[in-house]
Amino acid sequence: MGLTKSINKLLKNNYVKIVIVSLLAWLFVRVLANYFLKEGFESKPDTFEKDIKEGKKLVWFYAEWCGHCKPMHSDWDKAAKKINEDGKNKMIKIDAGGKSPEQQKIAQKYQVDGFPTVSLYENGSKVEDYVGDRTEDAIVAFAKSKLN
């Protein structure tokens, strides 16, 4: 009974209410921003073949756990925002490093032996692997030379 009284007393304090509401609002904004403002187009295993079927696509196969992929996320997303600005998803990323059977199937089918792997596809067929720097500028330069 003492705990309930303490909580009720605490909730009557306006400062505590303001802090709680502010924290909840901040959390809500973060969740919405992550959901709606992703900069790079992210494919899923069940739509991946359709996503690369037509035209030229630069695909980044990554794994959430990969130490080399983590610093590359920001550069890839910034590059993809520039290349995909016309509304066409020419740069695609997909998490193929998870433990789900679907992710493992993608990695196996598209011969992803390590992460990160960046490959150029044309009409669903691999044309070449990208072996350049993992910086925004280098990725944009490669994408512009190959996707236009």
124 an active-site residue? no
Choose the catalytic residue: 2, 40, 55, 69.
69
CB neighbourhood size of 68 (10 A): 12
Choose the catalytic residue: 55, 68, 114, 132.
68
In whole angstroms, what separates CA 27 from the centre of its chain? 20
73 an active-site residue? no
132 an active-site residue? no
CA distance 89 to 83: 8
Radius of gyration for the alpha carbons in the chain, expressed in angstroms and rounded: 21
CA distance 88 to 99: 30
* Burial of residue 104, with CB atoms counted within 10 A of its CB: 0-12 exposed, 13-18 middle, 19 or more buried: middle
67 an active-site residue? yes
Choose the catalytic residue: 2, 55, 67, 87.
67
Choose the catalytic residue: 66, 73, 98, 124.
66
Catalytic site positions: 66-69
